[in-house]
Amino acid sequence: MRIPLLAALLAIGPQAAGQAVPGSLDVHWNAGAPDCEAAPQAPLQVHAYEPRTFILRQSPCVHFEANFLYLLIGSERALLIDSGAIADPERMPLAQRVLELLPRRDGAPLPLIVAHSHGHRDHRAGDALFASHGAVEVVAADLEGVKAFFGLDRWPDGVARLDLGDRGVTVLPAPGHHPAQVLFHDERTALLFSGDFLLPGRLLIDDTAAYRASAARAAEFFRDHPVTHVLGGHVELDLDGRLFPHGAQHHPRERPLQLDKQALLALPAALETFNGFHARHDDFVLVHPMHNLAALAAAAVAALALVGWALRRLWRRRRAVSARGRD
């Protein structure tokens, strides 16, 4: 099923219909457990931000990435942003739960589009869960698929508008963490769904120049648009600003999911002054995994060279001593 898309290059103004529909983020997200075997829990938590906007969180016990997914319901169709880290319906009843949340028309759930903030596996593994459902269109997560579906032919410039009926969603290219990353801005709630581009945790930089340019474009675009909250794909910080260890299935005292517009507007300066390896900020931590890996490899090579040099010296000294002994 192809849907009507209005590619609105640079021409989308602030929310035409006035005020954003308010919602609630008064929710305690499932924190996982120190021992998940001993503390079985529901694989999926569903929170209604408002009656037509749902936040779904995959339990840290089911997958340490503990992804947040978002369901936006319009009058003609619905949009699921990301399908999460789990492909096995026995472990993750995602499709069943999402289809239950959709309004029914003529006895069938509203048509659903499954799109992705970006193509990393923890955001699209659940695509398989929707394969057998007829009224679901899954958007390809690679760059060509994203450009074609949304009509973003001037990538990474320009924006597109996805029409859900009485609800529009603006789509902005934002490569840097992943080549096909996009941001979704919902006209109804003025929520900005940022995937792994901006979240309370590690912002993993793959391409620094692209990330900088994306942050600058996003800040420029949203300076004049309402943003009630920025909602990302994960939470990796606790209330004291400490990162949970990579792979942790327990998130005690997890900080709230939402960031404010200021965090988005602060991102360009944070990236401009980035040292290329690791930098802490109030709301996020910038990390360049490949640079850190290269530095680690260089340190390991230097350490090996030092050990080799020390061993050679020791061997020469011993040889000199034994030669003197023979004299």
Q: How far is the CB of 120 from Zn ion (least distance, A)?
A: 4
> Cβ(86)–Cβ(96) under 8 Å?
no
Q: Could you tell me how many residues of this chain bind Zn ion (CB under 5 A)?
A: 4
> Which of these, 62, 16, 71, 21, lies nearest to 42 by C-alpha position?
62
192: β partners: 185, 230
Pick the closer one to Zn ion by CB: 122 or 186: 122
Q: Where are the alpha helices (DSSP H) in 125-277?
A: 143-150, 208-222, 261-272
Q: How far is the CB of 196 from Zn ion (least distance, A)?
A: 4
Pick the closer one to Zn ion by CB: 122 or 283: 122
Pick the closer one to Zn ion by CB: 120 or 288: 120
Q: How far is the CB of 305 from Zn ion (least distance, A)?
A: 35
Pick the closer one to Zn ion by CB: 120 or 167: 120
Tell me which stretch binds Zn ion (CB under 5 A): 3-11, 159-167, 189-197, 299-307: 189-197
Tell me which stretch binds Zn ion (CB under 5 A): 20-28, 39-47, 168-176, 191-199: 191-199
d(C-alpha 254, C-alpha 260), whole Å: 17
Q: Where are the alpha helices (DSSP H) in the chain?
A: 94-101, 121-124, 143-150, 208-222, 261-272, 289-326
In the 8-state DSSP scheme, what is residue 32? B
Query: In sequence order, what DSSP letters do the residues of 35-48 get, joined into one string?
Result: STTTS---SEEEEE
Pick the closer one to Zn ion by CB: 99 or 138: 138
Tell me which stretch binds Zn ion (CB under 5 A): 85-93, 100-108, 168-176, 192-200: 192-200
Considering only residues 13 through 42, tell me which ones interact with Zn ion, judged by CB under 5 A. Answer: none
Considering only residues 104 through 143, tell me which ones interact with Zn ion, judged by CB under 5 A. Answer: 120, 122
In the 8-state DSSP scheme, what is residue 54? E
Tell me which stretch binds Zn ion (CB under 5 A): 15-23, 37-45, 195-203, 277-285: 195-203
Residues 6+ apart with CB under 8 A from 220: none
Pick the closer one to Zn ion by CB: 110 or 230: 230
Considering only residues 47 through 66, tell me which ones interact with Zn ion, judged by CB under 5 A. Answer: none
Residues 6+ apart with CB under 8 A from 323: none
> Which of these, 57, 119, 60, lies nearest to 94 by C-alpha position?
57
Tell me which stretch binds Zn ion (CB under 5 A): 129-137, 205-213, 227-235, 279-287: 227-235
The pair of structure tokens assigned to 33 is 């457990």
| 233 binds Zn ion per the rule CB under 5 A | yes
Cis peptide before 51 (omega within 30 of 0): no
Chain contacts with Zn ion (rule: CB under 5 A)? 120, 122, 196, 233
